[in-house]
């Protein structure tokens, strides 16, 4: 499906381009800044965790080839999001890159030799990444919202506000009232990347923490008033995914108010107003 807002770019104006990297990873390119979120560019899950969890989505490019990262955002400490075989190589290939993450991830990144002056705690109050682009940490329920003794979130999603439009990258999360209330405070969402690898008994039995079901994600998307949804976390591992046929069937049967985008290539989300 093509995005209704897809069009040729004019480099003289600002624009937002999204590229999916597999699992929940993506990159956002704006005029003057490139952001990577949860880049999973290795076989670390199979090599370090479960030999039977084989990537179904090819590695799009090697982490050592990432020379354009300005910011790298990490949602939580699971290795398919905080990848030990990707992040140190990205840090080396992009010495200008700074990292934003929850406290537990900051500790891991320090242990991998990434300098403290490149590391920033994910802030609900927000960061200014560049003029016209702000970033807010959004609570994540994985499986529930957890905060440390200082009130800092253990797991987050991110809301990128660029040129007056909101892009929500949920990370790993279930639906929670606090998340809904927080997103309502930020205003309408232009694009939401939502996980649709449902939590269930059998996944939990083998140590896999699922997220929203497809139906749950679509209901959540309507509640948070998003224009379009890009489902993620559904096509990487057979034991922890969903089928495209399921996603399309539920969308076509329930007819939610948003546009569904099954992204395969880079997408221009919107232009600077």
pLDDT one-digit tens code per residue, 138-152: 999 999 999 999 999
Determine the structural domain holding residue 24 and report its residue range: 15-271
Contacts of 170 (CB under 8 A, 6+ apart): 24, 138, 140, 157, 192, 193, 194, 195
Q: Is residue 192 part of a domain?
A: yes
Where residue 184 sits, what CATH number does that domain have?
3.60.15.10
Stronger pLDDT, 271 or 108, i.e. the higher one: 108
Q: Is residue 164 part of a domain?
A: yes
User: Distances from the Cα of 18 to the Cαs of 27, 191, 208, 268, in angstroms?
Assistant: 6, 10, 27, 6
Q: What is the mean pLDDT of residues 118-134?
A: 96
Could you tell me the sign of the dihedral formed by the alpha carbons of 158, 233, 110, 153, in that order? positive
- Candidates 56, 38, 83, 42; CA nearest to 236 is 56
Q: What pLDDT score was predicted for residue 8?
A: 35
Q: Is residue 227 part of a domain?
A: yes
Q: Which residue has the tokens 């083998």?
A: 206
The pair of three-digit structure tokens given for residue 26, joined into one six-digit string = 């993506």
Global confidence as pTM: 0.93
Q: What is the mean pLDDT of residues 195-200?
A: 96
Contacts of 3 (CB under 8 A, 6+ apart): 228, 259, 261, 267, 268, 269
Q: Is the CB of residue 28 less than 8 Å from the CB of residue 167?
A: yes
The pLDDT > 70 percentage for the chain reads 93
Q: What is the mean pLDDT of residues 24-41?
A: 96
Is the pLDDT at 167 greater than 80? The verdict is yes
The pair of three-digit structure tokens given for residue 203, joined into one six-digit string = 């996944």
Helices (H) and strands (E) in the chain, counts: 7, 14
Q: What is the mean pLDDT of residues 211-231?
A: 97
Q: Is the CB of residue 101 less than 8 Å from the CB of residue 73?
A: yes
Q: Is residue 1 part of a domain?
A: no
Cα–Cα distance between 65 and 79 in angstroms, integer? Answer: 20
Q: What pLDDT score was predicted for residue 13?
A: 46
Is the pLDDT at 2 greater than 80? The verdict is no
Total count of domains within the chain = 1
Which DSSP letter does residue 14 get?
A: -
Q: Is residue 3 part of a domain?
A: no
Q: What pLDDT score was predicted for residue 264?
A: 67
Q: Is residue 5 part of a domain?
A: no
Q: What pLDDT score was predicted for residue 37?
A: 98
Q: Is residue 208 part of a domain?
A: yes
Q: Is residue 10 part of a domain?
A: no
């Amino acid at each position: 499906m093509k995005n209704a807002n897809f069009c040729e770019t004019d480099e003289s104006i600002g624009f937002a381009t999204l590229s999916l990297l597999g699992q929940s990873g993506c990159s956002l390119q704006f005029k003057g800044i490139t952001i990577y979120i949860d880049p999973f560019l290795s076989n670390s899950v199979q090599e370090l965790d479960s030999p039977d969890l084989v990537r179904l989505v090819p590695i799009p490019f090697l982490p050592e080839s990432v020379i354009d990262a300005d910011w790298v955002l990490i949602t939580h400490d699971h290795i398919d999001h905080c990848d030990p075989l990707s992040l140190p190589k990205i840090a080396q290939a992009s010495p200008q890159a700074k990292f934003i993450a929850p406290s537990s991830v900051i500790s891991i990144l320090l242990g991998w030799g990434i300098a403290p002056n490149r590391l920033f705690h994910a802030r609900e109050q927000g960061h200014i990444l560049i003029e016209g682009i702000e970033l807010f940490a959004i609570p994540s329920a994985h499986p529930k919202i957890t905060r440390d003794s200082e009130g800092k979130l253990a797991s987050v999603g991110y809301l990128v506000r660029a040129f007056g439009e909101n892009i929500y990258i949920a990370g790993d999360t279930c639906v929670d009232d606090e998340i809904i209330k927080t997103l309502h405070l930020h205003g309408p969402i232009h694009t939401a990347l939502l996980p649709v690898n449902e939590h269930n008994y059998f996944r939990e039995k083998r140590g896999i923490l699922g997220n929203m079901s497809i139906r749950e994600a679509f209901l959540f998307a309507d509640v948070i008033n998003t224009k379009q949804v890009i489902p993620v976390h559904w096509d990487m591992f057979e034991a922890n995914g969903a089928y495209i046929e399921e996603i399309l069937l539920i969308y076509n049967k329930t007819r939610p108010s948003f546009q569904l985008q099954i992204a395969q290539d880079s997408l221009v989300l919107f232009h600077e107003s």
